[in-house]
Amino acid sequence: MPMISSVLVANRGEIARRIFRTARSLGLSTVAVYSTADARMPYVDEADAGVGLPGNAPGETYLRAELMVEAALRAGADAVHPGYGFLSENAAFAQAVIDAGLTWIGPPVDAISSMGSKIEAKKLMAAAGVPVLAELTPAEVSADDLPVLVKASAGGGGRGMRVVSRLADLAGEIEAASAEALSAFGDGTVFCERYLAQGRHIEVQVMADQHGTIWAVGERECSIQRRHQKVVEEAPSPLVERIPSMRPALFDAARKAAAAIGYVGAGTVEFLADESGNFYFLEMNTRLQVEHPVTEETTGLDLVALQFAVASGEHLPPEPPPTAGHAIEVRLYAEDPLHDWQPQTGVLHRFAVEARVRVDSGVEDESEVSPYYDAMLAKVIAYGDDRATVARRLARALERAKVHGVGTNRDLLVWILRHPAFLAGETDTAFFAKHGVGAAVDDAVVRVSALAAALADAAGRRTPVRVPSGWRNLASQPQRKSFRYGDGVVEVEYRLTRDGLVVDGNITLIDSFSDHVVLEVDGVRRAFEVAAYDGITCVDSALGSVMLTPVARFTDPAEQVAAGSLVAPMPGTVVRVGVQVGDVVTQGQPLVWLEAMKMEHLIAAPMAGVVGELKVAAGQQVEVGAVLAVVGENS
């Protein structure tokens, strides 16, 4: 059996750091690969050696199997771990690693191939006695079958998936899903299956050695999703806990699935379940899952260490350890949930989460969040004896985290963890459809945080002073400052007189410094930490965190765009243009499709009218704020 001494991780960011951490604990040396955009990311510095991959787009860097093998050989690695995403479920890559004489930290090539096509995988699982949803060819779908889910046969991560509720929409959605799948995975094959609008996404972690032992380690529930991508994951599943007879059946099905393809290593068998406990095979991920930490927390296992052990030929014990307690993981994304989950890019000036929770992150202070890769910044995980305590602890840790410089879904995560439906275990895939997309910080907190930001700014950056500028012995004009927050503007107005701070509401100024303001709000003393960066001000307090954009008193005409302009909300690649100059369009009609951070975003007409200018074409790279098209009035 191979003796592993040095491992190359054919991946980036959070998962590379996670694998390096275990590799170091095992006494292995580590090799990183990095694109041009990732050259200064934390995982590169943490490796013993690094090999650059010129370029930025995944297709020219992390998806180039031959570059990965060449990098491993050049750096003297004797093993390759693929992480998740990118080439992790690419059978040809696994074979290339093996053919180069390197140890592949993953399942057999044939197992990867057999699960690579969801269509063929479902046939194999049905033959093995695993429950499956019937596959529908597009030509077979009738009104009685609706709603249906159009799915890409290759790949995952929500790409190439469309829910269809009207038969008239089916052809167009199949075409769109096929095009997205072809772009993402190089295979445009799609199929349809019955859609459970309020299903539960339940998955079983399996681990198998080379000697026939197959573990069903525990189940996870990952039902709260946006765009078919997971947001919150937990172990054990609230649904399975409610239906005790479901767990043995799930574990049996997962072991059958692994045995049917001769599986070795870590993998996950995913099921879709209904509220009665009936479940159906979705797919098998032949790799480590993003959400593996919740299984580690509830079992005490190091799944990455087990991957190394299995690849080295070691035996697993006959049975896995029992599970205990509860763990919840949330994915902290650089995105705006209130605006169609638009990715956010820029410099992450500050990233700090309290030590009482586990943080698996790909970033640190001053990391650059680029538009080329997935929008996930970190996974934050809490563990405890019971679910309610874990949810409360995790919500508090997120609320007090310092995440400065890039917009995130942090407030949404806190809102979910405190939502009555979540706490009751009502976490089906329709969670956002039922409850909307909420935020944890209310308007009152935003207003008082803006006041603290204004007072800190007035205190200046000199030696700390107790009273900010603007103080007058006699009544004078109020001090005013404006901040953008979300879609609105927060106006701050105050006077500093011999009687103290004068604002609307019952607020008293206690102390004011350039980075720290203490106010008494309705008789309760509150401390606010204020951090000002170029173009943004971040205010952290026990009430929550608020990121504000100071509004200049005078507008630069060069920054204004013509009325009716479609502006790129993020850097990305134009994948489709749906109009031509002179076309008549309606307000809200999709005109341009952008791809950024593994997601496709449509840019719609801001008004009804005529396309007067078209400034982009398919395949073109654009920067944030770039004008894509201009819609004028219809004469």
Query: Long-range pairs for 147-151 at CB < 8 Å and ≥24 separation?
Result: 147/195, 147/197, 148/192, 148/193, 148/194, 148/195, 149/192, 149/193, 149/194, 149/195, 150/174, 150/177, 150/190, 150/191, 150/192, 151/118, 151/177, 151/190, 151/191, 151/192, 151/193
Catalytic residue among 287, 331, 447, 526: 287
Residue 261 DSSP SS3: coil
**Residue 133 φ/ψ, nearest 5 degrees:** -80, 140
Residue 94 DSSP SS3: helix
Residue 554: count other Cβ atoms within 10 Å of its Cβ: 5
159 is a catalytic site residue: no
490-508: burial string, b at 16+ Cβ within 10 Å, e else: bebebbbeeeebebeeebe
CB of 62 closer than 8 Å to CB of 86:
yes
Residue 121 DSSP SS3: helix
Distances (CA, A) of 555 to 175, 552, 559: 44, 6, 8
**H or E element that contains 234:** strand 232-235
Please state, in angstroms and rounded to a whole number, the distance separating the CA atoms of residues 153 and 269.
16
Please state, in angstroms and rounded to a whole number, the distance separating the CA atoms of residues 539 and 226.
28
Strands 599-604 and 544-550: unpaired
CB of 575 closer than 8 Å to CB of 375:
no
**Of 476, 510, 512, which Cα lies nearest the Cα of 493?**
476
Catalytic annotation, residues: 287
